[in-house]
Amino acid sequence: MQRSEADGRAVPARDNEEEAELIRRVAAKDRRAFELLYRAYYRRLTRFVEQLTRRRHLIDEILDDTMLVVWRKAQSYNGQSRVSTWIFAIAYHEVMRAHHRERRAGQVPSAEADAVVPSVEADLIESESRFRLRAILAELSVEQRAVVELTYFHGFGYKEISSITGCPVNTVKTRMFHARRRLKTLLAGALE
């Protein structure tokens, strides 16, 4: 049994086997398999990318770039990690590429631009406390936010996060330590 990305519950290994089969079919350029994989990951990846970028105009672009890499590089999936770890790693790298592109272009957004501006629909769905939590998470660096998101909202362990982000496990732990410390300070300030 493995932990699920969404809620931490145990997931049968067969789910990863089914996803690995989809990846093999995608590597053979099976469009139906790609469509199934896209649908399976769309919501999780959208949420992950949204939480890391905080820039609504980039979300679809990054998601499309991620899935394009999955399509083009499916044959490179070697089974050494779960399919979800491999796909989230691609998404993480696409987020970082977009972040660096904006920085190079001199489009470093202000804190106001990074703030979550919920749609009317999101306003109705999200409670005020969830909105506050998202605003507080936006105060973290992209790297720290990624570790928090992958751990608490997608159920990945440090070793998997290390694979996704391409940094050593100790760096993941350090990022989590600093993120938790920063969150503690931010949450204390929000409660005052």
Residue 109's SS3 state is coil
Please tell me the predicted confidence (pLDDT) of residue 130: 67
Would you say 132 and 190 are in contact if contact means Cβ atoms under 8 Å apart?
yes
Please tell me the predicted confidence (pLDDT) of residue 154: 86
SS3 letters for 80-91?
Answer: CCCHHHHHHHHH
Q: Where are the domains of the chain?
A: 2-191
CA 26, CA 39: separation in Å to the nearest integer?
A: 14
How crowded is residue 170: how many other Cβ atoms within 10 Å of its Cβ? 10
What is the architecture of the domain spanning 2-191? Orthogonal Bundle (1.10)
* Maximum Cα–Cα distance across the chain: 57
CA 81, CA 92: separation in Å to the nearest integer?
A: 16
Please tell me the predicted confidence (pLDDT) of residue 129: 64
Per-residue model confidence as pLDDT tens for the chain (192 residues): 444 444 343 444 568 899 999 999 999 999 999 999 999 999 999 999 988 887 777 888 899 999 999 999 999 999 889 999 999 999 999 999 888 887 776 654 444 444 444 444 444 445 566 677 778 888 889 899 999 989 888 888 899 999 999 999 999 999 999 998 898 888 777 666
Please tell me the predicted confidence (pLDDT) of residue 133: 76
Please tell me the predicted confidence (pLDDT) of residue 128: 63
